Structure 1
Amino acid sequence: MPVVPDRSTAGQALRGRKPGRNFTRQQRYSTIERTAVIRAKRAGDAAGRSGTEDYPLSAVPGEARQGFWPITLVLLGFTFFSATMWGGARIGVAFRFWPDLVGIILCGSAILALYVAGLGYIGYKSGFSTVLSARFAFGDAGSRWSDALLGLTQIGWYAWGTATVTIVLIHLLDLDARIQAPLMIVFGLVFCLTAYIGCRGIAVLSWVSVPAMLLLIAASASVALQDAGNGAGLLPPGTAGALTVAEALTIVVGTFVSGGTQVANWTRFSGSARTAAGSVLLAFFFGNGLMIAVGAVGAAVYGLSDIVEVLAVQGLLSAGILMLFLNIWTTQDNTIYNFSVAGCHFFRTEQRRLVTFAGAAAGTLFALLGMYDWLIPYMVLLGVLIPPLGGVIMADFFVRHRGRYPELAKATVPRFNRRGLAAYAAGSIAALAVPGIPPVNGIAAAFLVYACLVRLT
């Protein structure tokens, strides 16, 4: 008797053949359901990886948003930075304490805080990092310029912080200078560990270091005022060379204009507009202004531009070195985190942790090459090149997109947004050539030029 071939779906499956088109309705629905489950699992895995890497190429979802104090402490830890004290020391010995020095600190801090608050609101509203917003402002390929500029400036800060803590420890402990390079390598790797973890790791460190740094500031300021006879013993202005008001304001703004331009990397995790704006104003007006003031008062009292020497004169060096170490670490991890976000956008990768280690290695190399001696020229340069980026991003969001970006996956983004690039060029030229305060000129010119181009074209 001839064998009749089994043409059923089950028979074909048993023989290793793919089923034909003769599915039953139940089988077709089962296949669709299995396919949907597989796709959902893949999407969930991708979302999980994105969440672990802190969403470098997507908006932060609602369930990942946080309250006021977690964001504020991270930003305060960011702005509590020794380099800001060095900048304050530079202007503290060039101006009279009252009203010149106080006015410069308040005015410069207000400029910085208002500028950063605008960008912080954009981060909260959109859930985007700064570099994702730059994709709309400069185009898909054009935004890589902002990635490179913001990333490289953060590498410079990371190098300076790594070199600073190494030199301080060698000076304090009277160590052999030959171990300076190995120590820089160790610190360069250690400082990136909390950034490797992400926002959670940075927040935990900030809960410890911010109160400690406030105690150090209070102690140092108290001793300085006592030594100065409550202000009567301040050294006369011009002790360490003259500065113009514009140069002094550029130093105040330039200390954190690069980090402030990337504040959306943190405020995108904010749960409300009040949280985003309040945390930014507290950190960049009070926190940054306080660091400038402490450095300026210490220099005006003791005539020293080096905060380590000021602490030594006050007898606080031994107690302050641990505080200083924690203070630098909180800024270092924020700095290298910003680099990792910019680097992920530049290479269009979600491997933020890998980019973090690569940035830390590059920053350590710059520290070994002598970044410690380039601080003031570096801050002045940042005050010229970085602010126009923020001016274009704010104009693009508030004028062109009217306060709401389209969904990134559905948006049509050109390779180059010529209006944004032209506005950035105009802002940079204004910062370099127009009399006044370079950072303010750059922000205002970039914003106005972009807004006009949008309206006219």
Structure 2
Amino acid sequence: MEYQKSQINVEEEYTQKPIPESMKKHWFYAASVYIGMCAVLACSMAGGGLIYGLNLSQAIWAMLLGLLALLLFFYIPLGKIGAEQGINTYLIGECAFGEKGSNIATSFIVTAIPCIAWYGIEVEIATQALAAVIPMSKAVFNILTVIFGIVFAIPAMYGILSMAWLNWVSLPIMLYIIVFGVGKAILQSGIGGLLAYNPTQNMGLFWGINMQIGMIAVGCSFVADYTRWIKNRWSNVAYSGIIGLFPATTILTTAGMIMALSATSLGVKEPWNIVEVMIKLGMPAMALVFVFLLQWTTCITAAYSSGLALNKVFGKSRFYLTLISAILGTILAISGIVSYFLNFVSILASWVAPISSVIITEYFFVSKRNFVRKKGVYWPGVISALIGGFIAWKSKFFVPALNGMIISGIIYYGYHRILGLTAAKEKNLTTET
């Protein structure tokens, strides 16, 4: 109990200030959080989503290229800022958007709103899995959703160490589901049947890359929340990203593709709905119970970061704001948010990427790693992100998420370059609103 109290106090103390280098941990702590974040059936849902518009080989390439883009353009640069400055994403955002602008850009758009929605999706999947084993009425389903939504948030309320341990407990369970589910799918369709599959409408490789980026864009955009706890080296950040993102995501997404392909041949219309896929494949009750348990690992990551984001805006206790985030996500779960999964992922890819790009451009290319926190709203950052987001949202060529990143970064850098602004001069360009 004393350990838990101490952990809560540490989390609260360093919510709004840098973590001392002496308190930082091995890079594997951050990797563990991301392994847990990726070692959930949301990745299998992503595999099913990719199969909706691609054949198997295209889907695998889209997954790998999307993960590489996430590592190079999101995780490593943003993670390095967190490790170097020792502060969370929402304080970092002040260098590009201003104190008030960061409340909107990083706290709400990058983290709070997407994470609360993710929390709702994961809680709904968990309850659906349990409902597939134990038949229940809609009223009972909603009551259980509320209970699970609150209970799932408890490790995140206590902080990063309890989250890392919970993530490791989940891995053997996930391994069981993968082996059993993929085995059932191969027996059902055969290797030849899986390789011969073609979607009704092939959406193209770039569409798939964009979908993969959208799946983890939010998680990679608030990576500083976790890398602020690890020692400040490029190698530490890179190792945590490679180990945290690639193994679990690759295995689970590919497994999701294979299971979804087989289930599609059996009549499943929404291959991203992992519970429906598993039921159609005849997975046993124990597997569906395990699905319920696994959702916990993504829920805690979403709740933890949304609690930090709300703390940045409202300045109240991170512990209780984490609980409030979970309650809001639970309300979305009751409303059936999982039905809008693909649209949700596409929107994330479009609007989150440009915000991350502006932060990276400001820190590494404009202020040259001189951290300049600005008051009010810093409109060059806000406008650059809005333009990049709109272009990403509307563009149909290449990879929309990367289009938005490139455009917003160029606009932001060009503005400062043309005006000859340096880190020192930027301090005079903040706007109080």
Task: Tell me which interval the TM-score lies in, with the shorter structure as reference length.
Answer: 0.7 to 0.9
Match of 1:155 among 116, 126, 136: 116
Q: Extract unaligned runs of 5+ from structure 2.
A: 1-5, 420-433
Would you say the 8 A contact 1:82–1:328 is kept in 2?
yes
Pairing 1:437–2:399 present? yes
Would you say the 8 A contact 2:8–2:158 is kept in 1?
no
For residue 379 of structure 2, what is the aligned residue in structure 1? 418
What per-residue deviation string (whole Å, max 9, x for no partner) do you get for residues 123-151 of structure 1?
11111111111011101111111212121
Q: Extract unaligned runs of 5+ from structure 1.
A: 1-46
Cα pair distance change 1:233/1:337, threshold 3 Å: closer
Would you say the 8 A contact 1:82–1:327 is kept in 2?
yes
Distance 1:185 1:382 in 2: 25
Would you say the 8 A contact 2:54–2:208 is kept in 1?
no
Pairing 1:127–2:86 present? yes
For residue 310 of structure 2, what is the aligned residue in structure 1? 343
For residue 30 of structure 2, what is the aligned residue in structure 1? 71
Q: Compare 315-324 and 357-366 and name the one that shifted more.
A: 315-324
Distance 2:134 2:13 in 1: 39
Cα pair distance change 1:325/1:97, threshold 3 Å: same
Pairing 1:145–2:113 present? no
Deviation at 1:234, TM superposition (A): 4.3
> Where do 1:132-281 residues align within 5 Å?
132-146=91-105, 147-149=107-109, 150-234=111-195, 236-239=197-200, 241-273=201-233, 274-281=235-242
Secondary structure, aligned partner of 1:142 = helix
Deviation at 1:452, TM superposition (A): 1.7
Pairing 1:107–2:74 present? no
Deviation at 1:290, TM superposition (A): 2.9
For residue 383 of structure 1, what is the aligned residue in structure 2? 349
Cα pair distance change 1:64/1:449, threshold 3 Å: same
For residue 288 of structure 1, what is the aligned residue in structure 2? 249
Cα pair distance change 1:217/1:118, threshold 3 Å: farther
For residue 18 of structure 1, what is the aligned residue in structure 2? none
For residue 58 of structure 1, what is the aligned residue in structure 2? 17
Would you say the 8 A contact 2:128–2:275 is kept in 1?
no
Name the larger-Rg structure. Answer: 1
Deviation at 1:208, TM superposition (A): 0.4
Secondary structure, aligned partner of 1:141 = helix
Deviation at 1:424, TM superposition (A): 0.7
Deviation at 1:159, TM superposition (A): 1.0
Letter in 2 for 1:324: V
- Aligned residues, how many? 403
For residue 15 of structure 1, what is the aligned residue in structure 2? none
For residue 415 of structure 2, what is the aligned residue in structure 1? 453
Deviation at 1:348, TM superposition (A): 3.0
Distance 1:166 1:197 in 2: 23
Q: Compare 265-274 and 196-205 and name the one that shifted more.
A: 265-274
Would you say the 8 A contact 2:347–2:393 is kept in 1?
no
Would you say the 8 A contact 2:59–2:205 is kept in 1?
no
Distance 1:174 1:390 in 2: 44
Distance 1:237 1:288 in 2: 23
Letter in 2 for 1:446: S
Pairing 1:327–2:294 present? yes
Distance 1:54 1:246 in 2: 43
Deviation at 1:315, TM superposition (A): 4.5
Distance 2:145 2:163 in 1: 21
Secondary structure, aligned partner of 1:255 = helix
Letter in 2 for 1:195: A
Secondary structure, aligned partner of 2:136 = coil
Q: Compare 149-158 and 413-422 and name the one that shifted more.
A: 413-422
Would you say the 8 A contact 1:220–1:316 is kept in 2?
yes
Distance 2:406 2:325 in 1: 31
Secondary structure, aligned partner of 1:185 = helix
**TM-score between the two structures when normalised by the length of structure 1:** 0.82
Distance 1:272 1:220 in 2: 40
Kindly, what percent of the aligned residue pairs are identical?
Answer: 23
Deviation at 1:284, TM superposition (A): 2.4
Distance 2:263 2:159 in 1: 40
Distance 1:96 1:376 in 2: 17
Distance 1:312 1:432 in 2: 34
* Superposed CA RMSD: 2.2
Cα pair distance change 1:76/1:387, threshold 3 Å: same
Distance 1:185 1:71 in 2: 29
What per-residue deviation string (whole Å, max 9, x for no partner) do you get for residues 369-427 of structure 1?
22121111111111111111100111111012213426xxxx5x231222211221221
Letter in 2 for 1:392: V
